[in-house]
Structure 1
Amino acid sequence: MTVLKSFALAALAAVLAFPSLAADLPDLGGREVVVVTENAYPPLQFIDVRTGEAIGWEYDAMNEIARRLNFKVSYENTSWDAMIPAVSEGQYQIGMTGISIKEDRKEKVDFSDPYLRSEMFMLVRGDEDRFDDAKSFAALDSGLVGAQPGTTPFYVAVYDVLDGNEQNPRIKLMETFGATVQALKTGDVDMVLTDGVAGKGYAEASNGGLKLVGGPLGADDFGFIFPKGSDLVAPVNAAIAAMKADGSMDALNKKWFLDYKIGG
């Protein structure tokens, strides 16, 4: 029996074990829902360089949620720093871009239940030999880290790697995650923090140009965001629970974190 066949049978068994989950989901009657994302954090959401298509784990998950709840989804793009304010103000109904569930963010937006758990790892150039973990990087005074302001990698760099100073000049701020990886490749920074599975994808696609070093530096749960008081939260949570129960989330994890190769 192949691994894929075994996986499919396990998912089918899960569906049979929870026969009422799909039937119990709310029907949103085909309403239109605008979802905003950044398209800058593979494999969650990004532009496929081969096709120009926006793809990723979150797109597949949201499309499946829309199918199960019977709503029509359309996608818009915005920058990371504009996303939470825009959703908070009701410009979009849902936001998705690997957003860590944080108490301070809950003051501005509502979160779904967690759909992924993320651990941060250090992504470095393949020939890096000056440091191999957070402690040795912190001791390297000339070492620079690239990060987007206000993101989990930024805060992990500040509080788990460096000295707790959010204005530390060793942190070079950039607008997108892709820009931080490009800066790493060109030598403008020496380290980027990334989710372990995304980092593994970048390393495998780099032909030795990049690698992961050290152990996990922090863990966060990812959730979709909504304007405060949104009536979409409960239905989306129900769909997430159903997808976890019937194996659909595991199938997405396999597709995007194990099978898919970033850039090829």
Structure 2
Amino acid sequence: MTKLRVFLAGLVAAILLPALAAAQALPDLGGKKIVVVTENAYFPLQFVDPKTGQPVGWEYDAMAALAEKLNFSVEYQNTSWDAMIQAVSDKQYDMGMTGITIKDERKEKVDFSDPYMLSEIFMLVRADESRFSEPKAFAADDKLLVGAQAGTSPFYVAVYNVLDGNEANPRIKLFETFAASVAALQAGDVDLVLTDSAGGKALVAASGGKLKMVGAPLQAEEFGFIFPKSSDLVAPINAGIAALKADGTFDAITQKWFVDYKP
């Protein structure tokens, strides 16, 4: 009876294991070159390292891991945030990455990958800030200013979750990049910047005690890569994202850039 059970177990394994292996096999893109556009202005997802002058960050490491898993090569290009979604929609690039929140209105122009990161929007302030710690108190003091990059999730959270719903509110000071808004906060030119939780933690850790996050999260959002509509890259990239989540690679990259990295 025992021998029979062993035989049957072996038979089941012989039948099922090849099928399971096939189900888990990742797409092979055959060394295809994929042109990825980014902004290099969203620390620590992608930015220019001040020590080396080279573009680095979480998304660069994630893309390198995807390229290895799926057998493709990457050519990087740069453009501004306000031009990126339209440029990808127009098929100027194969993919876009810059901490892009998955939103229904954006899906009208581009396709998104599955989420690779869940983030929450927090209030980032100077460490000595005591005038407010939640949106209502900030909104009540018309002398206080918020810095933001037009068209981004933090901009819209500032408009609709912090202030009065007016996108032209003069209390919102616009900057070309997220890094410029943080520099303005540190210089005292604005009093608040909204940031995703992971980026905010990294900024606080790197600030030498000059910055802090306050209050509860104002909004939760998921980040995804973008593609031209009907791109045949969406399915393989999604398979790669799932694999890198499952094997711990994304967790290791997050540890590297959001915890261990020191500018």
Q: TM-score with structure 2 length normalisation? A: 0.90
Equivalent residues in 2 for 1:204-219, closer than 5 Å: 204-219=205-220
Equivalent residues in 2 for 1:64-75, closer than 5 Å: 64-75=65-76
Q: CA deviation at 1:213?
A: 1.2
Equivalent residues in 2 for 1:72-221, closer than 5 Å: 72-221=73-222
What residue in structure 1 maps to residue 11 of structure 2?
Answer: none
SS of alignment partner, residue 58 of structure 1: helix
Aligned partners of 1:21 and 1:242 also within 8 Å: no
The AA in structure 1 aligned to 2:107 is K
Matches of 2:22 and 2:43 in 1, distance apart?
Answer: 30
Give me the CA root mean square deviation.
1.4
Matches of 1:241 and 1:56 in 2, distance apart?
Answer: 20
Q: CA deviation at 1:30?
A: 0.8
Q: CA deviation at 1:227?
A: 0.4
Q: CA deviation at 1:22?
A: 9.2
Which protein is bigger by CA-based radius of gyration?
2
Q: CA deviation at 1:123?
A: 0.9
Per-residue CA deviations over 1:211-247 (Å, capped at 9, x if unaligned) read 1111111010000000001000000000001111111
Equivalent residues in 2 for 1:43-58, closer than 5 Å: 43-58=44-59
Per-residue CA deviations over 1:14-63 (Å, capped at 9, x if unaligned) read xxxxx848961111111110101011111111111111111111001111
Structure 1 segments (4+ residues) deviating >2 Å: 19-23
Matches of 2:70 and 2:23 in 1, distance apart?
Answer: 9
Matches of 1:21 and 1:89 in 2, distance apart?
Answer: 35
What residue in structure 1 maps to residue 233 of structure 2?
Answer: 232
SS of alignment partner, residue 249 of structure 1: helix
User: Structure 1 stretch 111-120 or stretch 194-203: which is displaced more?
Assistant: 194-203
User: Structure 1 stretch 200-209 or stretch 74-83: which is displaced more?
Assistant: 200-209
Matches of 2:114 and 2:48 in 1, distance apart?
Answer: 26
Q: TM-score with structure 1 length normalisation? A: 0.89
Per-residue CA deviations over 1:71-107 (Å, capped at 9, x if unaligned) read 1111111110011011010111000000000000000
* Unaligned ranges ≥5, structure 2: 1-19
Q: CA deviation at 1:130?
A: 1.2
The AA in structure 2 aligned to 1:246 is D
SS of alignment partner, residue 100 of structure 2: coil
Matches of 1:184 and 1:152 in 2, distance apart?
Answer: 18
SS of alignment partner, residue 28 of structure 1: coil
